[in-house]
Amino acid sequence: MTIQLNGKGYEAPTGITVLGLLESIGLAPGRAAVEVNGRVLRREDFRRVSLAENDRVEVVHFVGGG
Amino acid sequence: MTIQLNGKGYEAPTGITVLGLLESIGLAPGRAAVEVNGRVLRREDFRRVSLAENDRVEVVHFVGGG
Amino acid sequence: MTIQLNGKGYEAPTGITVLGLLESIGLAPGRAAVEVNGRVLRREDFRRVSLAENDRVEVVHFVGGG
Amino acid sequence: MTIQLNGKGYEAPTGITVLGLLESIGLAPGRAAVEVNGRVLRREDFRRVSLAENDRVEVVHFVGGG
Amino acid sequence: MQNEHLTIAGRSYPSRLIVGTGKYPNFDVMRQAIEASGAALVTVAVRRVDLTKRGGESLLDYLDTHKVALLPNTAGCYNEEEAVRTARLAREAGLSDLIKLEVIGDEKTLFPDNEGLLKATRTLVKEGFIVLPYTNDDVVVSRRLRDAGAAAVMPLAAPIGSGLGLQNPANLRIILEEIRDIPVIVDAGVGTASDASIVMEMGADGVLMNTGIARARDPVRMARAMRLAVESGRLACEAGRVPRKLYASASSPIEGTLR
Amino acid sequence: MQNEHLTIAGRSYPSRLIVGTGKYPNFDVMRQAIEASGAALVTVAVRRVDLTKRGGESLLDYLDTHKVALLPNTAGCYNEEEAVRTARLAREAGLSDLIKLEVIGDEKTLFPDNEGLLKATRTLVKEGFIVLPYTNDDVVVSRRLRDAGAAAVMPLAAPIGSGLGLQNPANLRIILEEIRDIPVIVDAGVGTASDASIVMEMGADGVLMNTGIARARDPVRMARAMRLAVESGRLACEAGRVPRKLYASASSPIEGTLR
Amino acid sequence: MQNEHLTIAGRSYPSRLIVGTGKYPNFDVMRQAIEASGAALVTVAVRRVDLTKRGGESLLDYLDTHKVALLPNTAGCYNEEEAVRTARLAREAGLSDLIKLEVIGDEKTLFPDNEGLLKATRTLVKEGFIVLPYTNDDVVVSRRLRDAGAAAVMPLAAPIGSGLGLQNPANLRIILEEIRDIPVIVDAGVGTASDASIVMEMGADGVLMNTGIARARDPVRMARAMRLAVESGRLACEAGRVPRKLYASASSPIEGTLR
Amino acid sequence: MQNEHLTIAGRSYPSRLIVGTGKYPNFDVMRQAIEASGAALVTVAVRRVDLTKRGGESLLDYLDTHKVALLPNTAGCYNEEEAVRTARLAREAGLSDLIKLEVIGDEKTLFPDNEGLLKATRTLVKEGFIVLPYTNDDVVVSRRLRDAGAAAVMPLAAPIGSGLGLQNPANLRIILEEIRDIPVIVDAGVGTASDASIVMEMGADGVLMNTGIARARDPVRMARAMRLAVESGRLACEAGRVPRKLYASASSPIEGTLR
């Protein structure tokens, strides 16, 4: 299926969880925050929440800033 | 009748017009602005508008300011 | 004869007066000041003072300054 | 005899040395400097130099300053 | 840049100095000071008629409204409603659309409440007023006031009546670079003549002041000083000042000195 | 304080602004700028006649000496002897005793050599000159120059030609409090109009400038600006400015607001 | 006044200096600079993971979160919605309620949009955030932020990254006199060490900076300078400085000099 | 630039801060303040022994001369002769060649008499003294003092005891650019910690102060503040500050924001 990940189309296995997505892009779950369709997820829900076709997913982390 | 003039009770003849009120307090109509019950009057209406019991009337003019 | 005029050698007729010198260099006497051998001349002496071989002569005037 | 000590008359035994003077006024010789008649003494000379009638003696030390 | 006239909402005033009418020792000194200032716009406040003092002298007896236009203010208003109401009364009292809009946010500093100011500006612009809002030196607010239809923006130099002069040149410079389609008039805080020339030199279109003149030891003389200061600052702005350098540059030629 | 005239050694000049004649784009602009400045005293330098350029235009063709008096300087002199010699030549060239005395101590800053300046002042005063020494902002030196017979002291605001404006207000204030019997004329460093008004407001008796006008983009306009700035600053000084306060003071009355 | 600790919302941090993590030459210099600064709170930004750069080094590898607490910011947000959304993500990413709230109103100056800032503050306070809003030097806004529940107010000294130092001491002084129940932390515009000490001397509770350290020629050394500057300014504030006087006051006694 | 040590005439002192010993509430506070300041050089004055007060405490009882070297001054001397005489006495009292040379030219400002100062410097240098002359911010004088053999030049920031801080940054900058072979130590006028860091940031080699510490409400704490300020300013100077800009520069990246 195709989801919108950080503003771009991204191919992911159907039914993938948020945790699975983070793993597939090589990101430690403890260092990211995720928003699905405008709703911010609690970190403990990464394992539970599955993604669907066309979901808008934002994955953010901390970078240097002032 | 009693009206509220500039925040204080004021005795005026029943049915007095705004123009009459201004004259009774010794004010040239060309130098004042009048609000009755929260509505600002046009100057040409001073002659036409009569006041009623308990009307809240504000009569203002220009003073020195910066 | 040769005099030193404003730091450079200058050929002038023997016995020339300061006034004559100023005229020969095209300068109005009313706008210049003259020093001969380190002594400043009064303007009224321009006509009277003659120059001699090797005299050091400075001729100055006003220019723009602040 | 009378000497001028720090601008004032001071009675001292005839022939007193500078060291003797310092002791008589209760001053440790290591903390003072002495001028006699306008000449600054070396510290090692305190013991050697005797004072005479009317000598002008300045005894100074360090105080707080900036 | 054109020197002498200040144009607000298409009307041209023959002076870049706007003066207030408050705090003078008496009306006669005020009249003379206004004349000495050359101002073509003078601010006035709107206040309740004092019913206990009949027949006293009136401010307007001392203002020649053929020579100076009145610019009523909403001084003393602490929210949008009060300011709008005062503006409407001012329009009827003066038969003019000009309003110096003040919505005050703090009693001690008399700094503006910019949120209320923006709302009041929008309301009054819709009602046809020519709105000149008094604000602080915040370019974000100035831009919004302009976008809301203000006829000028009037950032302060320093707190009203403080006499401190321009406190934040960087912020004024930023506003002057950003707001180019309507006049920027520096309002409040001018203490002496050079305070006025400094802001004019930076490119301000005008200066509004009251206390600096009215509370000087000699208000009439200070008014003349301010007039010249505003003209002087404007001319200097137009004339293009020399650059600043740490070291000297001789004014007299180096060649031809006696050595 | 009397406004318009500057009195030096008993002579009265109808302007407190003294301007230089160097560094203008051309003589014609200079002439117009001097006229626009209203100056009654203009400085000139003394230099060797250039024998290679005969018959060219002369500075004096562009100065109306019925309107302006000449104030020759000793610019470019680095010791007492050069300065005294230059002053003597200037006297013969101009038939006047006025001299702006410069003894320079440093090429990069053109700061004065105050030791040489004092000596040259003493020498020239004895010879009957009216000595106006250019110096820095050192009250000890100013007092000695006065005691040596200088007709005025002329402390700098900033390096000559730097355009920095007054760098040390405290030092100028101290000089103005101390030197009360002869004029204090601020010489050098003025970059724009407000720089001139600031020193006049502090109580300076006059301002001398050259580069600030001559090297402005539009010298004639800047000359007018400077004229007004000096007048404005003087008036403000006389008028007595308001005190500075951290907090506001309303210009409009608090009583009678609508609530 | 207590010297070393900065207390925000009941938590105590052992340094009054907060530093950013952006714009360093590399992560290693950043790590050393933060250590040299002694900061106990460091700001971080929230950004989309860049999917094209897998496995690169991460900021968090270089931050010892046992020693420093993270203060995520909402930099780059231009309205309430963006800022609130970013704050919520930051909370999940950092598992902390602290947020440095920025709602920017202008791209060139990065000055705040105070109206949006107030709304976002109210929203986030309700959601349990500890909100540290970046704002300008407007006491009216600072008071409203405090009343809205902000845990501190963070007025700027000058535009972010400008290095200009405190531009308006009067405005900061006014804020410090008014806001006494929550910390006032000066955020943005510090260019060198004295800029930090100046605001601490005035009574600020802390200073937040990034560019001044990260873009110095030697960031680690500048970090140490800033640490000492903040401590020094705080100590001087507590120690009570001498009054300013125009004239001198001898340090050495007058009595007992040789004459 | 080397951070911690100040080298004068080949001797190295482990602090760039020199402090005075006058005007403290009492000797004990002085002792603690000097320790807190970290100073390695302390100034003392030379005065006649008061014969009416025998056996009182002495300054030297409170100075650990193993830790701090004494720098006697010639404060209160108004001409060359007094200063030279005082220096000679100081040498015998302290058995050291160091002298802080003051020749005062004005009682109210305590500004130097530079002419007398130069003469006294020449005399004392010939006699083998290490001369540290207190002077004003005149580069011409500083250069002559150096050429006369002074071991450092010590320009003032502001009048002694005034607490005004650096009054003329341009003049100090010029001196620092010109005098590169001997230390430039800013002496007098420092009022608070940032005053000290500012001059160190500009590149001064050291700072000398007395009143700023001794007359603070809490001298010991202010001494610590000054110590950190001098270190901080020096570090910032070495670290190379960011350039100043009118507009902002974001600290957080622009890419990757949520939109």
Chain D residue with minimal CA distance to H72?
D62
Name the pLDDT band for E2 (thresholds 50, 70, 90): low
Alpha carbon distance H156, H174 (integer Å): 14
Name, in order, each residue with C-beta under 8 angstroms of C24's C-beta and a sequence gap of 6 or more: C12, C16
Dihedral of CA atoms G18, G23, G27, G30 in degrees, nearest 10, equals -30
Q: What are phi and psi of C40, to 5 degrees?
A: -80, 135
pLDDT, tens digit, for every residue of B6-35? 999 999 999 899 999 999 988 887 889 999
A43 shares contact with chain G (CB less than 8 Å): yes
- The residue among E114, E96, E97 whose CA lies nearest residue E105 is E114
**CB G168 to CB E171 under 8 A?**
yes
Average pLDDT on F173-182 reads: 96
Q: How, if at all, do strands H17-19 and H41-48 pair?
A: parallel
Q: Which of F249, F252, F254 to mutate to test the interface with B (most CBs of B within 10 A)?
A: F252
Q: What are phi and psi of F236, to 5 degrees?
A: -65, -40
Name the pLDDT band for E249 (thresholds 50, 70, 90): confident
Higher pLDDT pick, E214 / G3: E214
Residue recorded with tokens 């307007």? E60
Which uninterrupted H or E stretch holds D10? strand D8-11
Subunits with at least 3 CB pairs below 8 A relative to chain F?
B, C, E, G, H
F245 given a catalytic annotation: no
| Percentage above 70 pLDDT, chain G | 98
What is the predicted pLDDT for the residue at H254?
81
pTM summary value: 0.93
What is the predicted pLDDT for the residue at F255?
84
A38 shares contact with chain H (CB less than 8 Å): no
Alpha carbon distance E237, A61 (integer Å): 50
What is the predicted pLDDT for the residue at G255?
84
Which uninterrupted H or E stretch holds C58? strand C56-64
What is the predicted pLDDT for the residue at F91?
95
Name the pLDDT band for E55 (thresholds 50, 70, 90): low
User: Do F239 and E221 form a contact (C-beta atoms < 8 A)?
Assistant: yes
Average pLDDT on F157-176 reads: 94
Q: Which of H170, H174, H246 sits opposite E170 (nearest CB)?
A: H246
- Residue F244 is classified by DSSP as P
Chain H residue with minimal CA distance to D28?
H55
Q: Which of E85, E92, E99 to mutate to test the interface with B (most CBs of B within 10 A)?
A: E92
Alpha carbon distance A43, A32 (integer Å): 9
pLDDT, tens digit, for every residue of E216-246? 999 999 999 999 999 999 999 999 999 999 8
Q: What are phi and psi of B44, to 5 degrees?
A: -70, -10
Alpha carbon distance F185, F156 (integer Å): 9
What is the predicted pLDDT for the residue at H51?
84
pLDDT, tens digit, for every residue of E17-26? 999 999 999 9
Position B59 pLDDT exceeds 70: yes
* Residues counted in chain G: 259
pLDDT, tens digit, for every residue of C16-37? 999 999 999 888 878 899 999 9
- The residue among E137, E109, F194 whose CA lies nearest residue G111 is E137
Position G3 pLDDT exceeds 70: no
Average pLDDT on F222-238 reads: 98
Angle between helices G193-202 and H193-201 (to 10 degrees): 170
Residue G103 DSSP SS3: coil
Position F1 pLDDT exceeds 50: no
Q: Which two tokens stand for residue F141?
A: 């030196």
The mean pLDDT of chain A is 93
**CB D65 to CB H49 under 8 A?**
no
Q: Which two tokens stand for residue E244?
A: 């600043």
User: ipTM, 2 decimals?
Assistant: 0.93
What is the predicted pLDDT for the residue at G2?
53
Strands (E), E33-190: 41-48, 69-72, 98-101, 130-135, 154-155, 185-187
Q: Which of E173, E174, E246 sits opposite H170 (nearest CB)?
A: E246
Average pLDDT on B34-58 reads: 94
Residue F32, burial from CB neighbour count under 10 angstroms (0-12, 13-18, 19+): middle
Higher pLDDT pick, A29 / E154: E154
- Per-residue model confidence as pLDDT tens for chain H (259 residues): 456 799 999 999 999 999 999 999 999 999 999 999 999 999 999 999 988 877 677 899 999 999 999 999 999 999 999 999 999 999 999 889 999 999 999 999 999 999 999 999 999 999 999 999 999 999 999 999 999 999 999 999 999 989 999 999 999 999 999 999 999 999 999 999 999 999 999 999 999 999 999 999 999 999 999 999 999 999 999 999 999 998 888 888 888 887 7
Which uninterrupted H or E stretch holds E116? helix E114-126
User: Do E141 and E124 form a contact (C-beta atoms < 8 A)?
Assistant: no
**CB D60 to CB G258 under 8 A?**
yes
Q: Which of A34, A42, A66 sits opposite G211 (nearest CB)?
A: A66
Subunits with at least 3 CB pairs below 8 A relative to chain H?
A, D, E, F, G
Annotated catalytic residue within E23, E67, E100, E126: E100
Query: In what order do the strands lie in the sheet containing E98-101?
Result: E98-101, E130-135, E154-155
What is the predicted pLDDT for the residue at H1?
46
Subunits with at least 3 CB pairs below 8 A relative to chain E?
B, C, F, G, H
DSSP secondary structure of A1-58:
-EEEETTEEEE--TT-BHHHHHHHTT--GGG-EEEETTEEPPGGGTTTPBP-TT-EEE
What is the predicted pLDDT for the residue at E3?
61
| Percentage above 90 pLDDT, chain E | 87
What is the predicted pLDDT for the residue at H60?
92
DSSP secondary structure of G162-226:
-----S-HHHHHHHHHH--SS-BEEES---SHHHHHHHHHHT-SEEEESHHHHTSSSHHHHHHHH
Tell me how many degrees the CA angle C45-C50-C52 measures, rounded to the nearest 5.
140
**CB A64 to CB G85 under 8 A?**
no
Number of Cβ within 10 Å of residue B31's Cβ equals 16
Name, in order, each residue with C-beta under 8 angstroms of H27's C-beta and a sequence gap of 6 or more: H57, H59, H61, H62
pLDDT, tens digit, for every residue of F34-48? 999 999 999 999 999
Radius of gyration (Cα) for chain B, nearest Å?
11
Using a CB-CB cut-off of 8 Å, the residues of chain E touching B41 are 92
